[in-house]
């Protein structure tokens, strides 16, 4: 069950028009960039709750949410997306800085270095290494796992947030209905 605390941390970002647009961009085999990014953020949240990190929880989650904030569909036959795996971290960071200019050095490191070892520069922070690990774990799940992420959490989220009196977009963890095949 997703916690109310996690939702409170992510809600301002996921409610933005730009972030919501990520539902329209296919990522890996199953799901959207939105689904993947929220999954990664939740894995980081669970890690922080279970093991702790020196990084502030809200900053840790924000860095994880924004790690794939590149805002385009890299599956389009656009020559600019040809080296997407190598270039999207920088694009994601640039987009994130436009909307969130107060990103900390740790958040910037998380976003910029999450594709290591595909990109040569490794993360410089523990939070960056954790994001790198959980991004790979989520990607493997996206490719090889059953896509239980969306449906499995919906009931628990709605029930918890309604009890807490929060306004909650019920589609947050349900894959977008738009065509992203």
* pLDDT tens digits for range 109-160: 999 999 998 889 999 999 999 999 999 998 888 777 755 544 334 334 444 4
3-state SS of 108-148?
Answer: HHHHHCCCCCCCCCCCCCHHHHHHHHHHHHHHHHHHHCCCC
Sign, CA torsion 94/96/102/105: negative
Note the pTM of the prediction, 2 decimals: 0.80
Residue 14: beta bridge partners?
none
Q: What is the pLDDT of residue 87?
A: 79
- Asked if 65 and 103 count as a contact pair (C-beta separation under 8 A), the reply is no
pLDDT at 156: 42
Element containing residue 160 per DSSP (H, E): helix 149-163
Residue for token pair 């774990």: 137
66, 110, 118: which is closest to 87 by C-alpha? 118
Q: Compute the residue count for the chain.
A: 181
Domain ranges of the chain: 4-163
pLDDT for the residue numbered 173: 43
Q: Per-residue pLDDT tens, the chain, 181 aa: give them.
A: 568 999 999 999 999 999 999 998 877 666 789 989 999 999 999 999 999 888 999 999 999 999 999 877 766 677 766 676 687 899 999 999 999 999 999 999 999 999 998 889 999 999 999 999 999 998 888 777 755 544 334 334 444 444 544 444 444 443 333 333 3
d(CA 109, CA 124): 7
- Residues 113 and 24: their CA atoms lie apart, in Å, by 24
User: For residue 110, what pLDDT is reported?
Assistant: 97
Name the class of domain 4-163.
mainly alpha
């Amino acid at each position: 069950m997703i916690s109310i605390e996690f939702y409170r941390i992510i809600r301002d970002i996921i409610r933005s028009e730009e972030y919501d647009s990520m539902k329209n961009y296919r990522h890996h085999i199953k799901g959207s960039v939105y689904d993947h990014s929220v999954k990664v953020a939740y894995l980081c949240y669970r890690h922080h709750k279970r093991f702790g990190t020196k990084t502030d929880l809200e900053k840790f989650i924000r860095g994880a949410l924004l790690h794939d904030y590149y805002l385009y569909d890299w599956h389009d036959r656009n020559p600019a997306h040809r080296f997407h795996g190598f270039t999207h971290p920088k694009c994601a960071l640039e987009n994130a800085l436009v909307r969130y200019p107060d990103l900390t050095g740790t958040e910037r490191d998380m976003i910029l270095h999450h594709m290591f070892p595909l990109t040569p520069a490794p993360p410089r922070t523990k939070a960056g290494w954790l994001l790198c690990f959980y991004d790979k774990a989520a990607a493997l799940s996206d490719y090889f796992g059953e896509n239980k992420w969306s449906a499995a959490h919906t009931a628990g989220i709605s029930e918890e947030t309604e009890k807490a009196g929060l306004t909650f977009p019920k589609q947050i963890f349900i894959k977008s209905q738009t065509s992203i095949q």
